[in-house]
Structure 1
Amino acid sequence: MSVIYLHGFGSGPKSTKAAFFQRRLQQIGILLQVPDLNQGQFSQLTLTRQIQQVCWQLAECAYPPTTLIGSSLGGVVAAWVAERQACVQRLILLAPAFGFLSHWLPRLGAEAVETWQRTGSLSVFHYGEGRPLPLEYGFVTDAQGYPDGALQRPVPTLILHGIQDETIPIQASRDYVAHRPWAQLMPLESDHSLTNVLEPIWQASCRFCGWIDACEGTQ
């Protein structure tokens, strides 16, 4: 069994949720891998590059049955990897960023998006680095080629999403599970970060993955 955590947009492998899952899984004898999806080149970030990175990692290492845990945009990456890689047998998605562009671009505003398209670069705060970094407009054009409706491989999926999420409204996850009987949604009293509900997330993940006996008593 293999478990891989995919961090979100503007985040990194040392995020709070990644560290939490690493610690808890280590306690039950499972090594969690957390690749850096930024690859040291955040400015050239695209969904295609992230998806390919994870697919190559799975292919090169001849992975056994794999569970992907994806946070925010990492949840979208996880879903697309699962669409292409048969070894992915479960998905745990934390506030997955389905419909990311439709939520993010309006908050930037039409003028900022037009300037980004014209100049080719936008300054985005990167929480993993703790500072603004440039992001090329190719991120947008690339993401437009990944419609959520094309995700149809029936991979058992647990989605955990905060009811107060203002970054990616929980309705995005409700819409996703509505036509996918293999996916289930667990609403939580939280925002996009989900950091106040890590324990319920862990317990739900244990039940979903069949780790429940090993998980009892971990803290």
Structure 2
Amino acid sequence: MKSTYFYLHGFASSPQSNKARQLGDRFAERHLTLHVPDLNFGNFTHLTFTRQLERVSRLFPPPPSPVTLIGSSFGGLTALWLAQQSTQVDRLVILAPALRFLYFWLPTLDPTALHDWEARGYLDVYHYGEGRDVPLHYNFVKDLQQYRDERLGRSRPTLILHGQQDEVIPIQASRSFVRDRPWANLVELDSDHSLANVLPEIWHEIRNFCQI
């Protein structure tokens, strides 16, 4: 049974991101469809991780059709949790996964802004897909706190591609993740979080891993 392929974009991004478009083109060249849903689902302000997981899972083909997920950053974290929850996910390719996302992201915010976000409910976050600041509700943080990486234990063939100079999610996060998960393989790349300079290498790894 042929797999259905999904690409899950990163936090505050969109289906028009550079990686999404380039990978979509590569899949099309092989007469394959790469589904790229908008993970904002028209309402970034009230985004929660739970909502993202529920909405993406509804896009899966009817069971038992297999699904291959390719996720970038926060979309990679989404892919890992979807594999934890759904037996349909049979293969994962994760680009710079946003493991321990809140641990690394929240300290980058101004302490006053962080306090005001919790007190007032909203924080302006730059949305790369829209090219402007968009308010995000604090429920995003409260919801995500319940998803702990150590609970990701369902065995699925998993390829992780991570830049050694990643300035957003240090590569050590992926190194630690694969250490106790023998089904996951880490390929370290000479790049930063965007992985923009290694897209040909990424496609080579995806093509071999997915056998397409």
TM-score tier after normalising by the smaller chain length: over 0.9
Whole-Å separation in 2 of the counterparts to 1:58 and 1:145: 24
Match of 1:7 among 6, 9, 30: 9
| Structure 2 equivalent of residue 56 of structure 1 | 58
Q: Which amino acid aligns with 2:30?
A: I
What secondary structure, in the 3-state scheme, does the structure 1 residue paired with 2:60 have? Answer: helix
Q: Which amino acid aligns with 1:122?
A: L
Whole-Å separation in 2 of the counterparts to 1:131 and 1:110: 22
Deviation of residue 85 (structure 1)? 1.1
Q: Which amino acid aligns with 1:29?
A: H
**Equivalent residues in 2 for 1:133-152 (5 A)?**
133-152=134-153
What secondary structure, in the 3-state scheme, does the structure 2 residue paired with 1:9 have? Answer: coil
| Structure 2 equivalent of residue 215 of structure 1 | none
| Structure 2 equivalent of residue 216 of structure 1 | none
| Structure 2 equivalent of residue 33 of structure 1 | 35
Structure 2, unaligned runs of 5 or more: none
Identity of aligned residues (%): 51
What secondary structure, in the 3-state scheme, does the structure 2 residue paired with 1:4 have? Answer: strand
Deviation of residue 57 (structure 1)? 1.4
Q: Please identify, of 192-201 and 108-117, the stretch whose mean Cα deviation from structure 2 is larger.
A: 108-117
Q: How many residues align?
A: 210
| Structure 2 equivalent of residue 190 of structure 1 | 191
What secondary structure, in the 3-state scheme, does the structure 2 residue paired with 1:67 have? Answer: strand
Runs of 4+ in 1 over 4 A off after TM superposition: none
Q: Which amino acid aligns with 1:79?
A: L
Whole-Å separation in 2 of the counterparts to 1:24 and 1:128: 21
Q: TM-score scaled to structure 2, two decimals?
A: 0.97
Q: Which amino acid aligns with 1:149?
A: E
Residue-by-residue CA offset, 1:51-89 (whole Å, 9 max, x unaligned)? 001111116x44621110000000011011111111111
Q: Which amino acid aligns with 2:53?
A: I
Q: Which amino acid aligns with 1:23?
A: D
Whole-Å separation in 2 of the counterparts to 1:180 and 1:30: 30
The answer to whether 1:78 aligns with 2:79 is yes
Whole-Å separation in 1 of the counterparts to 2:40 and 2:73: 14
| Structure 2 equivalent of residue 117 of structure 1 | 118
Kept in 1, the 8 Å contact 2:63–2:88? The answer is no
Match of 2:19 among 14, 17, 20: 17
What secondary structure, in the 3-state scheme, does the structure 2 residue paired with 1:205 have? Answer: helix
Kept in 2, the 8 Å contact 1:2–1:63? The answer is no
Q: Which amino acid aligns with 1:14?
A: Q
Whole-Å separation in 1 of the counterparts to 2:64 and 2:76: 19
Kept in 1, the 8 Å contact 2:98–2:169? The answer is yes
The answer to whether 1:200 aligns with 2:196 is no
The answer to whether 1:104 aligns with 2:105 is yes
Whole-Å separation in 2 of the counterparts to 1:182 and 1:35: 27
Kept in 1, the 8 Å contact 2:100–2:149? The answer is yes
